[in-house]
Protein backbone atom coordinates (compact mmCIF):
# COMPACT_ATOMS: atom_id res chain seq x y z
CA UNK A 1 0.00 0.00 0.00
CA UNK A 2 1.11 3.53 -0.76
CA UNK A 3 1.18 6.38 1.77
CA UNK A 4 -0.49 9.66 0.78
CA UNK A 5 1.00 12.90 2.08
CA UNK A 6 -0.98 16.14 1.74
CA UNK A 7 0.88 19.38 1.00
CA UNK A 8 -0.32 22.56 2.74
CA UNK A 9 -1.31 24.12 -0.60
CA UNK A 10 -3.50 21.10 -1.38
CA UNK A 11 -5.19 21.23 2.03
CA UNK A 12 -5.86 24.95 1.71
CA UNK A 13 -7.42 24.62 -1.76
CA UNK A 14 -9.44 21.55 -0.77
CA UNK A 15 -11.00 23.43 2.16
CA UNK A 16 -12.12 26.23 -0.19
CA UNK A 17 -14.29 23.90 -2.26
CA UNK A 18 -17.92 24.28 -1.24
CA UNK A 19 -19.45 21.72 -3.62
CA UNK A 20 -19.91 18.44 -1.72
CA UNK A 21 -20.11 16.30 -4.87
CA UNK A 22 -16.81 17.74 -6.15
CA UNK A 23 -15.15 16.95 -2.82
CA UNK A 24 -16.43 13.37 -2.93
CA UNK A 25 -15.07 12.98 -6.50
CA UNK A 26 -11.66 14.15 -5.32
CA UNK A 27 -11.70 11.76 -2.36
CA UNK A 28 -12.61 8.84 -4.67
CA UNK A 29 -9.78 9.67 -7.07
CA UNK A 30 -7.26 9.95 -4.24
CA UNK A 31 -8.30 6.49 -3.05
CA UNK A 32 -7.81 5.18 -6.61
CA UNK A 33 -4.35 6.76 -6.63
CA UNK A 34 -3.40 4.61 -3.64
CA UNK A 35 -3.91 1.47 -5.72
CA UNK A 36 -2.74 2.82 -9.10
CA UNK A 37 -0.23 5.67 -8.51
CA UNK A 38 0.59 6.11 -12.19
CA UNK A 39 -3.02 6.89 -13.10
CA UNK A 40 -2.37 10.55 -13.96
CA UNK A 41 -0.70 12.16 -16.94
CA UNK A 42 3.07 12.76 -16.61
CA UNK A 43 4.03 16.43 -16.90
CA UNK A 44 6.88 17.86 -19.00
CA UNK A 45 9.32 20.76 -19.03
CA UNK A 46 9.27 22.80 -15.79
CA UNK A 47 6.95 20.36 -14.03
CA UNK A 48 8.83 17.23 -15.06
CA UNK A 49 8.63 14.44 -12.47
CA UNK A 50 5.11 15.34 -11.38
CA UNK A 51 1.82 13.94 -12.60
CA UNK A 52 -1.59 15.49 -13.06
CA UNK A 53 -5.04 13.96 -12.74
CA UNK A 54 -8.14 15.67 -14.14
CA UNK A 55 -11.13 15.61 -11.79
CA UNK A 56 -13.78 17.76 -13.45
CA UNK A 57 -13.40 20.82 -13.13
CA UNK A 58 -10.20 20.54 -11.07
CA UNK A 59 -6.69 19.30 -11.68
CA UNK A 60 -4.78 17.40 -9.03
CA UNK A 61 -1.00 17.70 -9.18
CA UNK A 62 1.01 15.01 -7.40
CA UNK A 63 4.46 13.47 -7.12
CA UNK A 64 5.43 9.83 -6.64
CA UNK A 65 8.55 9.01 -4.60
CA UNK A 66 9.02 5.39 -3.64
CA UNK A 67 6.03 4.24 -1.60
CA UNK A 68 4.71 7.76 -1.06
CA UNK A 69 2.40 10.00 -3.06
CA UNK A 70 2.70 13.71 -2.36
CA UNK A 71 -0.47 15.62 -3.26
CA UNK A 72 1.00 18.98 -4.23
CA UNK A 73 -1.83 21.16 -5.51
CA UNK A 74 -5.48 21.22 -6.45
CA UNK A 75 -6.60 24.00 -8.79
CA UNK A 76 -9.47 24.88 -11.06
CA UNK A 77 -8.88 24.12 -14.73
CA UNK A 78 -9.80 27.68 -15.81
CA UNK A 79 -7.17 29.19 -13.49
CA UNK A 80 -4.30 27.36 -15.15
pLDDT digits (tens, 9 = 90+) for 9-49: 999 999 999 999 999 999 999 999 999 999 999 999 999 99
Contact 2, 68 (CB under 8 A): yes
Segments forming the whole domain that contains residue 47: 3-79
CATH code, domain with 47: 3.30.2310.20
**What's the predicted TM-score (pTM) here?**
0.90
Contact 22, 58 (CB under 8 A): yes
Domain count, the chain: 1
- Which pLDDT value is given to residue 2? 86
- Which pLDDT value is given to residue 10? 96
Helix (H) or strand (E) holding 11: helix 8-16
Burial grade of 9 (CB within 10 A; 0-12, 13-18, 19 or more): middle
Amino acid sequence: MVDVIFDLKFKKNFKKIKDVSAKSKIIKQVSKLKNHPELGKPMRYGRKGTRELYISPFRLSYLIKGNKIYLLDLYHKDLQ
